[in-house]
Amino acid sequence: MNAPTSAVLRMDAVTRVHGEGATEVHALRSVSFGVHPGELVAVMGPSGSGKSTLLTLAGGLDSPTSGTVSVEGTDLEGLGAAGRARMRRTSIGYVFQDFNLIPALNAIENVALPLELDGVRTRTARAAARAALDEVGIGDLATRFPDHMSGGQQQRVAIARAVVGDRRLILADEPTGALDSDTGESILRLLRARCDAGAAGVLVTHEARHAAWADRVVFLRDGVVVDETGADSAEVLIDSGTPR
Amino acid sequence: MSRGTSWRLALRLARRDALRNRGRSILVLVMIALPVLAVTAADVVIQTQDVTGVESLDRRLGSADALVTVEAQGSPVVQFFDPYDGSGTVGDQGTGRPPTAEQVSAALGGARLVETHLGAVNVRTDDGVAIVDGTEVDLRDPLSRGLFDLTAGRWPTGPGEVVVNQALLDQGYARGDVLGLTDDGAPAPTIVGVAESAESRTYPVVAGPIGSLGIADREGDAGQPSWLAGGGPVSWDQVRTANALGATVLSRAVVTDPPPTSELPDEMQGWGGSSDDQMVAVIVLVVVMALLEVVLLAGPAFAVTARRQSRTLALMAATGGTPAQSRRVVIGGGMVLGTVAALAGVVLGIGAARLLLPVLQHWSNTWFGPFDVPWLHLLGIALFGLLSAVLAAVVPAWIASRQDVVAVLAGRRADKRPSLRSPILGVVLLGIGIAGSAYGATSSSSGEFAIAGSAVVAVIGMIFLVPIVVVGVARLAGRLPLSPRYAARDAARHRTRTVPAVAAVAATVAGVVALGIAVTSDEAQNRETYRAELPDGMGSVSAYADEAPVDWTQLRAAVAGKLPDAQLTPVRGIIESSTPDGPSYWLDIKAAGVEEPDRLLDSYGSSWGASTLVGESAMTNLPIDVPEGVRQEALRMLQSGGVVAFTDQGVQADELRLELHRWEADSEDESVERLSVPALMVPVALGNAGPQAILSTQAAKRLGAPVGVSGLLVSGPITRAQESAVSEALTATDTSSSFYVERGYQADNETVIIQLVLAALGGVLMLGGTLTATFLALSDARPDLATLAAVGASPRRRRWVAASYALVIGFVGAVLGAAVGFIPGIAVTYPLTNGYSEATAGHYLDVPWLMILGLVVALPLLTALIVGLTARSRLPLVSRLD
């Protein structure tokens, strides 16, 4: 078996079933794949193919019906709710389509949020947040509230929040969906840059041109991985084996 | 769209929304239905236990058509339609004789009369002597049927027999016993039955034929008969005819169907109604404050509803709806929920009253009337509930109708910036409130009303200031830890939701603080102006010549029987009245040789047994609190035939003039004996409650004042049980005697209860306001909480956020409310503690800091704790991503 410890995110035969009996829906069926440091993986597929479910499982916001999800070698299921929350504070960063900044907090406070939640002293957290904002190019907007920012600016804040504190797994759910194409491109460039700097990224998108930024593309349909480009073939053979 | 269809659309939207958002709807329903329920239940209970004129007729008249009472001198009388509401004699002395039964019967158109006598009788019981309501009437006569309800045994058949109620049996009697009447010459009837009075439930009652209780044999008014009259309705004209003879008539027909008030005699026209204006003012204030509180408590729910509907409303506006139509949708919610809440509150209130009545009857002294549902009142109460729901929806509706359509459709969701107009209006109203309170504090009469009115104005002014205070708190929150910072900022962003909640807490706290200051200051005045009558712990027995001279040997034996170890010291003084038929005396002491002498004392008392003590023994045996040097000097003064006088006015004199006033019994004539004697002035504190002076035996003799034992001092300590045992023993010996034990200032139980009720009320309302706003805020903050979860907040974070919300709302509200409450609170202490006499004059202000600290600090923390513990800790994890 390939050393799975080298992958930041590893999903092994993950199945997620919503509901039961007549209303049973298989959102994911025995999906396996891994994302390594420095790698940006795009997940593509039509609506209802299970893209978002894959992302919620990867971030520990939801638990698989069967199979395991591990981040940096740790099985998320074994951690419990509090442990998974700690993972989201220290190892996993989310970027959403509609930004999801907290309107009651200003930019720097939104970015500092994961650190503050982790118990880092406010001063230290803010310094790190300011650095993250500088990195995404909006250090001058630190004290603005989300309501007074453009969509592109808000998404930059969201990315800064996702990477602050040197988190190594970035999960982006259609991060450009609410943005015009120029702004969208600059956001993806930012994401690519973070991965080149050593993070592992998962980008859920349904636009092929965005997938061009990725090292690999995983295609999902009806909860099953139907194709995978540029992947380590041996890994695919072993991991995506017998679909149920 | 016509007006009607537009309302129909609004109400349909509101009804659907109410059904879809069950939690929020139930919250509003509870907020409005609870006060409606409470007031309804209270009203039904009051109406039921209140036996009004018509209902009470059977109890007072039995089966008779009228009850006639006569005045001993036969003077003409005037009366209301119901003489209980007022009656009195007019004109000259009259015939000097009461009207006879024949005269009364003729005046009432030949009515059949049944003689009855009502009066109190003294009955020996296990514990001593009880005062019992006595009725002498032929209980077997049809006219008296209904006055008593026989529950055991039989009716009396002759003057040697009576019936009593259970309350009297409980004091140590059984059927078949001889009733121990203690009045002189009273008969000794046998108890043959148990009958409950139609009126009194727990008060002891006895009834029997004429002559069975000795009431009819009494002299004066007490022995005058009353008559139950039968044989047809008694008209108002017949009542007036009887009035002219000196008879007062309670007529069933007149009370049931009273003539116009213009028929009342002139003397009765102006009566009553004088306090109506004040009563109305109080009711209006109470209703306004209650309405305000309910509106504020229900307000946040409508604010959230309106915001949830903002997208619908924006779409309506985008498709051509007018602001008025948007408003109707939100107000429609108020109408739908208000109607349901009002109806539910009334129905449940009636049910609650029905269940409560048997419990309350158990504690009440009188029998309640039939179950009485005052529909007209209940309609008003229901309208109050509906009105409060609609009012609570008005401000959110107004804001919703003016929202920025583009911003809403684009998904931006903050409230608008606070306008400057409302804080300015708030400051103006607050200023009016302060000015009104100041006016009330300084005005000479009914200042309390001005203060109460201005308190409402000040509270309304404060509500207008809440938005900028909330925004200010959010500005200051930048340095706070995450949860409180988030809570404060979010509270300021959603002011339509936060402001009414904060205002509800503030209004409650303001009321509690104001009343608290008033009650505590009143209490402080009572404590400060209290003057002990005796040294602490000591008791004194006093008695006056009621029917015979006081037998001190017997009284002394009675006390010694209960307190064998106590030291008993007889007090010698001037006996102001030694026998009922003898002369009475009053000693006046003035500075000698002065044309208009100053008073020596502002006040003095007779707790020592007499207001003037006599003899050296008073100085040696009694615990008069003076320095030893003064005692020796006083003894010398008494030995040399002078007087030792107390002064709280700083009067200096070497010689005093004694004036002994004397009246003979049954005479207005007064004779005065004057004597000037050397004097020693002893200063005492203002508000003195002890004797005015100690007279030497010689001086008393020269004045011709009757000197003797006038009281008995009992050394302490005396427990409360001993005190009541001694009191009972004394009453059994001599009904005129009484026993007083000095225990220092005792806080009124009522004050403590009022403070507890205030604190509880404040706590409940604060909890209600805070909980509503917090849980609405949490449901509103779902997306934010999901984001928090996504970036790694632990499940407990939700609890912290919830507790922080509660803390922000409770704390800001409490601080604002306490500040505003001080205005009427301090103002009302001026009219309240403004004493009348010199000793109690002055202004007392005592702020209950502990209670205020509890309200401002402890209660918000407690509320936050409760909210933190009851909030669900699970964060809405995936809702955002679905």
Residues of chain B contacting A81 with CB distance shorter than 8 Å = 794-795
- Most confidently modeled of B114-123, B362-371, B752-761, B840-849? B114-123
Averaged pLDDT, B352-364: 83
A173 CA to chain B: closest CA distance, Å? 9
Same domain, B579 and B727: yes
Alpha-carbon gap, residue B259 to B255, rounded angstroms:
9
From B412, B485, B880, residue closest to A100, measured CB to CB: B880
* pLDDT at residue A235, as a whole number: 45
Of the pLDDT bands very low, low, confident and very high (cuts 50, 70, 90), residue B618 is confident
* pLDDT at residue B861, as a whole number: 92
Of the pLDDT bands very low, low, confident and very high (cuts 50, 70, 90), residue B241 is confident
Number of domains observed in the structure of chain B: 3
Alpha-carbon gap, residue A55 to B153, rounded angstroms:
90
The Cβ of residue A125 has, within 10 Å, a number of other Cβ atoms equal to 24
Of the pLDDT bands very low, low, confident and very high (cuts 50, 70, 90), residue B273 is very low
Residue B715 lies in a domain: yes
- What is the per-residue pLDDT across B81-124, written as a single tens digit (0 to 9) for each? 887 777 777 766 566 677 888 888 888 888 888 888 888 888 87
Q: Which pair of tokens denotes residue B5?
A: 């269809």
A123 interface with B at CB cutoff 8 Å: no
For tokens 């030291």, the residue is: B567
- What is the per-residue pLDDT across A160-193, written as a single tens digit (0 to 9) for each? 988 888 788 999 988 887 788 888 888 888 889 8
For residue B207, the surrounding DSSP H or E stretch is: strand B205-208
Say how many Å lie between the first and final Cα of chain A, rounded. 22
Of the pLDDT bands very low, low, confident and very high (cuts 50, 70, 90), residue B675 is confident
Same domain, B500 and B546: no
Closest C-alpha among B586, B502, B419, B516 to residue B765 = B502
Nearest CA in chain A to B880: A100
Q: Tell me whether residues B485 and A105 touch, CB distance under 8 A.
A: yes
Q: Which pair of tokens denotes residue B382?
A: 């229901």
Q: Tell me whether residues A105 and B877 touch, CB distance under 8 A.
A: no
Closest C-alpha among B159, B227, B165 to residue B198 = B165
Does residue B473 register a pLDDT over 70? yes
Cα angle, residue B535 at apex, residues B531 and B541 outer, rounded to 5°: 95
* pLDDT at residue B369, as a whole number: 76
SS3 B571: strand
SS3 B599: coil
Convert B694-711 into a string of H (helix), E (strand) and C (coil): EECHHHHHHHCCCEEEEE
Q: Which pair of tokens denotes residue B505?
A: 């807490």
Same domain, B756 and B695: no
* Alpha helices (H) along B248-374: 252-256, 266-269, 276-308, 310-318, 323-363
* pLDDT at residue A234, as a whole number: 40
Same domain, B713 and B602: yes
Averaged pLDDT, B534-544: 82
* pLDDT at residue A140, as a whole number: 92
What letter would DSSP give residue B790? H
Q: How many residues does chain A have?
A: 244
* pLDDT at residue B346, as a whole number: 94
From A82, A101, A104, residue closest to B794, measured CB to CB: A82
- Exposure letters B291-328 (e unless 16+ CB within 10 A, then b): bbbbbbbbbbbbbbbbbbbbebbbebbeeebebebbbb
Helix/strand/coil percentages in chain B, nearest 5: 55, 15, 30
Averaged pLDDT, B624-648: 83
Closest C-alpha among B211, B68, B298 to residue B769 = B298
Does residue A16 register a pLDDT over 50? yes
Say how many Å lie between the first and final Cα of chain B, rounded. 38
- What is the per-residue pLDDT across B392-426, written as a single tens digit (0 to 9) for each? 888 888 888 877 777 777 666 555 666 778 889 99
* pLDDT at residue B3, as a whole number: 59
Same domain, B755 and B721: no
Tell me, rounded to whole angstroms, the distance of Cα B724 from its chain centroid.
27
Average pLDDT of the residues of chain B: 81
Alpha-carbon gap, residue B395 to B385, rounded angstroms:
17
A174 interface with B at CB cutoff 8 Å: no
Q: Which residues pair with B660 in a beta bridge?
A: B587, B673
Same domain, B638 and B557: yes
Residues of chain B contacting A55 with CB distance shorter than 8 Å = 881
Q: Which residues pair with B416 in a beta bridge?
A: none
What letter would DSSP give residue B261? G
The dihedral of CA B614, B618, B620, B626: what is its sign?
negative
- Most confidently modeled of B248-257, B458-467, B646-655, B831-840? B458-467
SS3 B121: strand
Q: List the 22-61 stretch of A: residues with Cβ below 8 A of B.
A: 52, 55-56, 59, 61
Residues of chain B contacting A122 with CB distance shorter than 8 Å = 481
B781 CA to chain A: closest CA distance, Å? 9
Averaged pLDDT, B456-475: 91
Assign residue B627 a region: left if phi > 0, alpha if psi is -120 to 50, beta otherwise? beta
* A1-84+196-244, CATH topology level: Rossmann fold (3.40.50)
B572 close to B613: Cβ distance less than 8 angstroms: yes
Average pLDDT of the residues of chain A: 83
B35 close to B287: Cβ distance less than 8 angstroms: no
Same domain, B757 and B873: yes
**What letter represents residue A5's amino acid?**
T
Q: Which pair of tokens denotes residue A67?
A: 């199979």
What string of DSSP letters covers B706-752? -EEEEEEEE-S---HHHHHHHHHHHHHH-TT-EEEE-------HHHH
Distances in Å between the Cα of B237 and the Cα atoms of A129, B69, B271, B568 are: 96, 17, 21, 64
Helix/strand/coil percentages in chain A, nearest 5: 40, 25, 35
Rg from Cα positions in chain B: 36
Q: List the 175-194 stretch of B: residues with Cβ below 8 A of A.
A: none
Of the pLDDT bands very low, low, confident and very high (cuts 50, 70, 90), residue B350 is very high
* pLDDT at residue B881, as a whole number: 37
Does residue B882 register a pLDDT over 50? no
Averaged pLDDT, A21-39: 88
Q: Which of B479, B791, B798, B878 to mutate to test the interface with A (most CBs of A within 10 A)?
A: B791
Rg from Cα positions in chain A: 18
Alpha-carbon gap, residue B117 to B133, rounded angstroms:
11
* pLDDT at residue B557, as a whole number: 85
A86 interface with B at CB cutoff 8 Å: yes
Q: Which residues contact A21 (CB under 8 A, 6 or more apart)?
A: none
Q: Tell me whether residues A113 and B791 touch, CB distance under 8 A.
A: yes
B879 interface with A at CB cutoff 8 Å: no
Same domain, B587 and B718: yes
Which range among B302-311, B506-515, B589-598, B654-663 shows the weakest confidence by mean pLDDT? B589-598
Which range among A22-36, B307-321, B852-866 shows the weakest confidence by mean pLDDT? B307-321
What letter would DSSP give residue B234? P
Of the pLDDT bands very low, low, confident and very high (cuts 50, 70, 90), residue A40 is very high
* pLDDT at residue A2, as a whole number: 42
Largest CA distance in chain A: 54
* pLDDT at residue B845, as a whole number: 85
* pLDDT at residue A171, as a whole number: 92
* pLDDT at residue A241, as a whole number: 39
Cα angle, residue B170 at apex, residues B167 and B174 outer, rounded to 5°: 110
What string of DSSP letters covers B402-422? T--HHHHHTT--PPPPPPSHH
Averaged pLDDT, B331-347: 92
- Which of B741, B776, B802 is a domain's end point? B741
* pLDDT at residue B5, as a whole number: 61
Residue B80 lies in a domain: no
Of the pLDDT bands very low, low, confident and very high (cuts 50, 70, 90), residue A233 is very low
Alpha-carbon gap, residue B149 to B142, rounded angstroms:
13
Same domain, B569 and B694: yes
In chain B, what percentage of residues exceed pLDDT 90?
A: 9
Closest C-alpha among B167, B152, B158, B234 to residue B189 = B158
For residue A5, the surrounding DSSP H or E stretch is: none
* pLDDT at residue B338, as a whole number: 92
B831 close to B520: Cβ distance less than 8 angstroms: no
Residue B678 lies in a domain: yes
Nearest CA in chain A to B881: A52
For residue B654, the surrounding DSSP H or E stretch is: none
Strands B738-741 and B539-542: antiparallel
Of the pLDDT bands very low, low, confident and very high (cuts 50, 70, 90), residue B812 is very high
Alpha-carbon gap, residue B361 to B371, rounded angstroms:
12
- What is the per-residue pLDDT across B7-22, written as a single tens digit (0 to 9) for each? 877 888 788 888 888 8
Of the pLDDT bands very low, low, confident and very high (cuts 50, 70, 90), residue A42 is very high
* pLDDT at residue B345, as a whole number: 92
Alpha-carbon gap, residue B595 to A95, rounded angstroms:
101
- Exposure letters B32-56 (e unless 16+ CB within 10 A, then b): bbbbbbebbbebbbebbbebeeeeb
Same domain, B675 and B761: no
Does residue B701 register a pLDDT over 90? no
Residue B727 lies in a domain: yes
Structural domain of B191: 118-218
- What is the per-residue pLDDT across B475-521, written as a single tens digit (0 to 9) for each? 998 888 888 999 999 888 888 888 888 888 888 888 888 888 888 88
Tell me, rounded to whole angstroms, the distance of Cα A27 from its chain centroid.
18
* pLDDT at residue A240, as a whole number: 42
Q: Tell me whether residues B482 and A62 touch, CB distance under 8 A.
A: no
The verdict on whether omega for the bond into residue A103 sits within 30 degrees of 0, i.e. cis, is no
Alpha-carbon gap, residue A81 to A61, rounded angstroms:
9
From A52, A100, A118, residue closest to B787, measured CB to CB: A100
Question: Phi and psi of A235, rounded to 5°?
Answer: -60, -40
Alpha-carbon gap, residue B601 to A159, rounded angstroms:
88
Residues of chain B contacting A88 with CB distance shorter than 8 Å = 789-792
Q: Which of A105, A144, A171 to mutate to test the interface with B (most CBs of B within 10 A)?
A: A105
- Which of B696, B716, B741 is a domain's end point? B741
Residue B472 lies in a domain: yes
B410 interface with A at CB cutoff 8 Å: no
* pLDDT at residue B530, as a whole number: 78
* pLDDT at residue B594, as a whole number: 64
Q: Tell me whether residues A56 and B485 touch, CB distance under 8 A.
A: no
Closest C-alpha among B743, B746, B724 to residue B537 = B743
* pLDDT at residue B53, as a whole number: 65
* pLDDT at residue B879, as a whole number: 42
A156 close to A138: Cβ distance less than 8 angstroms: yes
From B412, B489, B790, residue closest to A61, measured CB to CB: B790
Q: Which residues contact B183 (CB under 8 A, 6 or more apart)?
A: B121, B122, B214
Same domain, B714 and B644: yes
In chain B, what percentage of residues exceed pLDDT 70?
A: 89
- Which of B679, B708, B741 is a domain's end point? B741
Q: Which of A76, A94, A115 to mutate to test the interface with B (most CBs of B within 10 A)?
A: A94
Nearest CA in chain A to B877: A61
Sheet arrangement for strand B643-647: B584-591, B655-663, B670-683, B643-647, B693-695, B612-614, B568-574, B707-714, B539-542, B738-741
Of the pLDDT bands very low, low, confident and very high (cuts 50, 70, 90), residue B613 is confident
Q: Which of A53, A102, A118, A171 to mutate to test the interface with B (most CBs of B within 10 A)?
A: A102
Averaged pLDDT, A83-92: 85
Does residue B220 register a pLDDT over 70? no
Same domain, B571 and B689: yes
**What letter represents residue B348's amino acid?**
L
Of the pLDDT bands very low, low, confident and very high (cuts 50, 70, 90), residue B776 is confident
B92 close to B76: Cβ distance less than 8 angstroms: no
Q: How many residues does chain B have?
A: 882
Does residue B677 register a pLDDT over 80? yes
B124 close to B171: Cβ distance less than 8 angstroms: no
Of the pLDDT bands very low, low, confident and very high (cuts 50, 70, 90), residue A98 is confident
Averaged pLDDT, B746-763: 73
Averaged pLDDT, B363-387: 84
SS3 B12: helix
A33 close to A233: Cβ distance less than 8 angstroms: no
**What letter represents residue A98's amino acid?**
D
Does residue B134 register a pLDDT over 90? no
**What letter represents residue B556's amino acid?**
R
Q: Which residues pair with A94 in a beta bridge?
A: A171
Q: List the 136-165 stretch of A: residues with Cβ below 8 A of B.
A: 147, 161
